[in-house]
Structure 1
């Protein structure tokens, strides 16, 4: 893995630990020669992770749809800044550039990006590791939901470890670097 796409919110959340750990992820990326691919924002979790990368001499690549760039403040110091027309183009460009994915706390948009990448892996559109940085136990409900989907057989047990959910960066990156491609299911009977 060289480039990591990070999905996260443009808000800070209600506890400073979220942005502190987003910054820590950015710093970790830079110090370990990973490049950041993200939504190009300068606020909230997006700004914190980008600042963590840039303030530690790392590479931060932003992708923002034109219409959002007119309403949101794009980070001014990015290594690369790409403007696309739609959200779909943004997600596709980020997915194409990335060698792996990490979700940080965020809102519905972050979850949507995560579940799209999760689904794309299930159906064989990519074979890249998917990490979830479980800051302050934020993603415990997500972990429970994924387990519930598996228990009720709406998601195959084959995908039990598709989302790598860890609450510290060294463990998260160790597991992501060791991740094996998932076995594709044959839905024909």
Structure 2
């Protein structure tokens, strides 16, 4: 039997204003189950986090949530997951999520999602891992981030190779194709 593959999902604890983001989060949750992959995420039952988790659970995916104690109330920590890990702080949360995943997917989100993305990107840049990192660019959400990273490179604060450490995918079918290749 092949090993269980786990996908870490970083995303917003809010739904955002574009309904396409919530729809994509739900579709991705269901796709995780269809592929037989485990969802590793921030354990919240709000925003895009809640959407992806509820869809994954409803479709039968294994789920692992990781949440710091201080966010259990604010993010409505989801207690009906296959595995729930409560950490002391945000740093431990990110580390546990990362260590329990084979690939990272970043859906739309705010400052927390950016923090998570930049942490795993930095770890990749300095050689601490080789896990694939994907930005799901629903409706062009991550295009301003791509422009900022290009600007950082153009200004000499990062090597050109920084863009090789993550992959921006335009939609869910492209993401699933890339994940299948990465996790096979």
TM-score (norm 1): 0.89
> Following TM superposition, by how much is the alpha carbon of 1:13 offset from its aligned partner in structure 2, in angstroms?
0.4
How many residue pairs are counted as aligned between the two chains? 179
String of CA shifts for 1:72-110, please: whole Å, max 9, x gaps: 311232111111111111011001101110111111000
String of CA shifts for 1:111-138, please: whole Å, max 9, x gaps: 0000000000000111100000111111
> Following TM superposition, by how much is the alpha carbon of 1:176 offset from its aligned partner in structure 2, in angstroms?
4.5
Alignment-derived partner of residue 117 in structure 1: 120
Q: Does 1:28 align with 2:31?
A: yes
Alignment-derived partner of residue 45 in structure 1: 48
> Which of residues 80, 85, 89 in structure 2 aligns to 1:86?
89
Contact preservation (8 Å) 1:3, 1:37: yes
**How does 1:76-155 map onto structure 2 within 5 Å?**
76-155=79-158
Q: Which blocks of at least 5 consecutive residues in structure 1 are unaligned? A: 180-189
SS in 1 for 2:66: strand
- Comparing 142-151 with 102-111, greater Cα deviation is found at 142-151
String of CA shifts for 1:28-52, please: whole Å, max 9, x gaps: 1110111110000001100001012
Q: Distance in 2 between matches of 1:144 and 1:160?
A: 11
> Following TM superposition, by how much is the alpha carbon of 1:152 offset from its aligned partner in structure 2, in angstroms?
2.3
